[in-house]
Structure 1
Amino acid sequence: MDLARISAMDLAHAARLLRGVRDAMLAGQRPRVMPRPVISESWGRALTGGVDPDHGSRSRLLGEEELEERRRASPLLEILPVLREALVSVADAAEHIMVVCDAEGRVLWREGSAAVLRKADSLGFALGADWTERAVGTNGLGTPLVVRRPVQVFSAEHFVRTHHPWTCAGAPVTDPRDGRLLGVVDVSGPLRTMHPATLSLVDSVAKLAEARLRERHVTALERLRAVAAPILARLEGRALAVDVHGWTAAVTGMPPQDRLALPKSLAPGRTWLPSLGSCRVEPLPGGWLLRLEKPGERPEPLPAARLVLDVSEPRGWTLAMLGGARDWTHELSPRHAELLYLLATHRRGRSASGLAEDMFGDPGRTVTVRAELSRVRRYLGGVLAHRPYRFHEDVEVEVVLPDSPARLLPHSVAPAIRAARGVAEP
């Protein structure tokens, strides 16, 4: 069903139609009208996860101290004024509420119509509640957390029956410094006040908030550059200053690069990075000084090693290199998780056009594929060969998969990965 056209339809009739679609799907029957793919796949995850379709699961609310601690620690706190200014007055006037959750689906802030807040309380949609798909199925907070794109959930598209009088529109907020998912901003309210433009508004505000985070990052990087520049000027050989996310602030003795992929945990002392080889790590205010130990030489090749690609969770995918003293773990972006999974399933290699077909259904989109794999090779070094793209033959690759194929990289719309999830292409 096209939500953009519902405003021209009778809302009650549309809601009844969707209830029939949901009931048929829950009964294992084929409905007369198929739900949208994002909704159908979400229902499948809820069924696999054992979510109660009548009531969901009311998990323990966070206590006041734990809630306040999460609020203080969340990067979303920095952009809360942006979200409030853009959405709260609109939500209140439309008898809606603005809701913000963290990356674990916990509701951190709610503001807007007092009457709607009371109705939300009756559903357990309260501060500190777990609003992930695992707890309450398809919804405007939990589903964008999984698929990592804006989603509007209308009436009986909600998996849990008691949520059918609601319409929700949520958009994920990601950290522009490292691509990490920070949470979701959502506007929810009664079905009768639903407007198809709400999703576009929420998505625009989420992007505005991300832009504010990007501005603050640029300012922080400039401060680090001011500290690092005189230090680098006194050094011989190759060295660079990076922030905690790997973004380069200053460099000497080597070509500049925008960003260096850092392992999850980095500490002062001697370390090894696939893209640089052996180096010394020293702390700087807001970042690190990396001094390469062998100036003028290319990064050391990685010896025979074991790679563990973990895509078992709906988000938070990692790649671990296990090679004795050179163990290294890197958190993957959604796109890199997709590409590395595809290469792990094609150990003999895949051409750029083949990967473009797998990713986009279009073998001509090789420029995008090559650009992304060039970024991957910056932190994998000689582990990833090309012509065709493949893992080095001496490297053992293990893939840790989710307990159900339906949960494999659920954000992905790549045809090859959808096929691996068992989703038929339209």
Structure 2
Amino acid sequence: MALSPADVTQLAAVDTTRAARVLSEVRSATLAGQRAPVAPRPVIEQSWGRTLRSGVDPERDLRAGVLSTDEVRRRRESTELRHVLPVLREGLLSVADVAHHIMVVAGADGRVLWREGSTPVLRRADGLGFEVGADWREEVVGTNGVGTPAVVRRPVQIFASEHFVRSLATWTCTGAPITDPRDGRLLGVVDVSGPLETMHPATLAWVDSVAKLAEAGLRELHLTSLERLRAVAAPVLARLTGRALVVDRDGWTAAVTGLPAASRITLPKSLAPGRRWLPPLGPCSVEPLAEGWLIRASDDPGPRGATRIVLDLTRPRRWSVTVSGCAGSWTHELSPRHAELLYLLALHRTGRSAAGLAEDVFGDAGRTVTVRAEMSRVRRYLGGLLEHRPYRFCEQAEVEVLTPDDPLDLLPHSTAPALTAGRKPTETP
């Protein structure tokens, strides 16, 4: 009886040797362009495709050198991940050591920053180049428990020959992304890895739950910092007349006067003191205040003229929208979902209804509530440049979309039907 991908996953929990043999056959057949005995899991098949396009050699592990000790130390001291390291250790290390695993924490660029756990397993990891300072991006090492979760932005378990590079086929790893709750930016990946025989299907849920605890810890730290800023802001705003607010460096509101309450406003990446145009406030006076900004909205509308919108989808996981006009320009980094939605609206300049976008993104026209919620978040930073009923860019805006040279690299994380259909290679007779 033929096995399915789900059957192989279940088999791995009870007979790792047989499951590893099946997956080795699947990998060999797939890379040779032949019919595999079992189709790879979709997340693995998509990762293999990205890795092949990156030029990774499946038979040889060709990586750049590791970071120096000083550079690792510098990155450890500057990353937000350092704040949640105790949570990760408490949630993962005690079990990992008993289960013959190691815990690895890598930055958003795939560089290993911390590595702890079972001493014998650490020695085996050394032989695979899984060491502090090593580069484990998917485009460098192929499908793996650090690089792949960073691309797809969800937890992934990689077992045996699901790894792209053959030398990693004796390994099993489970990684989950950790994102910054302030802006959704990827901070890094926490991974639990070990020899093939240590594979357990429950590891995926375990690592994911600890990663979510870490994100909750970061959220609590952010709320504490807002409270500190609020204590400074309150007496300042009490002395002002007109419309003003105090926000932290990421645009989260600490205090407000004369304006409707908003949890966050969008700030340019390179915000500096002076007169600035900020959506949706318009012309403003910006002054530094403690660990944030004092922003006073002007009653003089001044020049608007934000007429050019550039949607940049060329850089992996660094998608952005830039708005330019006579009042200056500003750039906002996009989440994966917002990148999908704005790309679809750029394709359909006459507009898309909520049901149309739901069909495009989810393959389900009934998911309009989700679409409307996301579009409401998009309009927080694009303001009047986006119209609704239907959703569309305003007619006065010139919209340009920058896309990767290879269509297969366009938002590779996305499973939206409107995007996956465009990524399918053209069949030749």
Deviation digits for residues 341-377 of structure 1 (CA, Å, limit 9, x no counterpart) = 1111112211110000111111111111111111211
| Cα distance in 1, alignment partners of residues 249 and 184 from structure 2 | 13
Worse-superposed segment, 93-102 or 379-388: 379-388
Shift of 1:300: 7.1
Is 2:289 the counterpart of 1:284? Answer: yes
| Cα distance in 1, alignment partners of residues 94 and 70 from structure 2 | 28
Counterpart of 1:315 in structure 2 is: 317
Shift of 1:301: 8.3
Deviation digits for residues 42-89 of structure 1 (CA, Å, limit 9, x no counterpart) = 000010010010123221110111111011001000100111111112
**Partner residue of 2:169 out of 155, 164, 169:** 164
Q: Does the aligned pair in 1 maintain the 2:13–2:199 contact within 8 Å?
A: no
Give the aligned residue type for 1:405. Answer: P
Shift of 1:311: 1.2
Counterpart of 1:329 in structure 2 is: 331
Counterpart of 1:397 in structure 2 is: 399
Counterpart of 2:420 in structure 1 is: 418
Q: Does the aligned pair in 1 maintain the 2:153–2:413 contact within 8 Å?
A: yes
Deviation digits for residues 171-216 of structure 1 (CA, Å, limit 9, x no counterpart) = 0000111111000000000111111101111000000000011111
| Cα distance in 2, alignment partners of residues 304 and 94 from structure 1 | 57
| Cα distance in 2, alignment partners of residues 118 and 402 from structure 1 | 40
What is the 5 A alignment of 1:54-133? 54-133=59-138
If the length of structure 2 is used for normalisation, what is the TM-score? 0.95
Counterpart of 1:12 in structure 2 is: 17
Q: Does the aligned pair in 2 maintain the 1:109–1:127 contact within 8 Å?
A: yes
Shift of 1:91: 1.1
| Cα distance in 2, alignment partners of residues 385 and 159 from structure 1 | 45
| Cα distance in 2, alignment partners of residues 150 and 403 from structure 1 | 28
| Cα distance in 1, alignment partners of residues 44 and 210 from structure 2 | 23
| Cα distance in 2, alignment partners of residues 106 and 392 from structure 1 | 42
Is 2:381 the counterpart of 1:379? Answer: yes
Q: Does the aligned pair in 1 maintain the 2:145–2:173 contact within 8 Å?
A: yes
| Cα distance in 2, alignment partners of residues 274 and 156 from structure 1 | 49
| Cα distance in 1, alignment partners of residues 202 and 164 from structure 2 | 23
Counterpart of 1:363 in structure 2 is: 365
Structure 1 residues 304, 328: closer, same or farther in 2, change over 3 A? closer
Counterpart of 1:46 in structure 2 is: 51
Identity %: 67
Is 2:279 the counterpart of 1:274? Answer: yes
| Cα distance in 2, alignment partners of residues 18 and 173 from structure 1 | 29
Give the aligned residue type for 1:418. Answer: T
Q: Does the aligned pair in 1 maintain the 2:281–2:297 contact within 8 Å?
A: yes
What is the 5 A alignment of 1:26-41? 26-41=31-46
Deviation digits for residues 76-131 of structure 1 (CA, Å, limit 9, x no counterpart) = 00100111111112111111100000000000000011111111111111110000
Give the aligned residue type for 1:351. Answer: S
What is the 5 A alignment of 1:232-311? 232-294=237-299, 302-303=304-305, 305-311=307-313
| Cα distance in 1, alignment partners of residues 30 and 192 from structure 2 | 27
Is 2:350 the counterpart of 1:348? Answer: yes
Q: Does the aligned pair in 1 maintain the 2:13–2:201 contact within 8 Å?
A: no
Q: Does the aligned pair in 1 maintain the 2:104–2:190 contact within 8 Å?
A: yes
Which consecutive residues of structure 1, in runs of 5 or more, have no partner in the other structure? none
Structure 1 residues 146, 300: closer, same or farther in 2, change over 3 A? farther
Give the aligned residue type for 1:121. Answer: D
Q: Does the aligned pair in 2 maintain the 1:170–1:202 contact within 8 Å?
A: yes
Give the aligned residue type for 1:143. Answer: T
Shift of 1:222: 0.7
| Cα distance in 1, alignment partners of residues 155 and 303 from structure 2 | 41
Is 2:181 the counterpart of 1:179? Answer: no
User: What SS does the corresponding residue of 1:189 show, helix, strand or coil?
Assistant: strand
Give the aligned residue type for 1:114. Answer: T
Shift of 1:9: 4.0
Shift of 1:303: 2.3
Q: Does the aligned pair in 2 maintain the 1:6–1:196 contact within 8 Å?
A: no
User: What SS does the corresponding residue of 2:84 show, helix, strand or coil?
Assistant: helix
User: What SS does the corresponding residue of 1:327 show, helix, strand or coil?
Assistant: strand
If the length of structure 1 is used for normalisation, what is the TM-score? 0.96
Structure 1 residues 253, 124: closer, same or farther in 2, change over 3 A? same
User: What SS does the corresponding residue of 1:305 show, helix, strand or coil?
Assistant: strand
Q: Does the aligned pair in 2 maintain the 1:54–1:160 contact within 8 Å?
A: yes
Counterpart of 2:141 in structure 1 is: 136
Deviation digits for residues 261-319 of structure 1 (CA, Å, limit 9, x no counterpart) = 11111111110012110001111111111000117xxx778426221111112201111
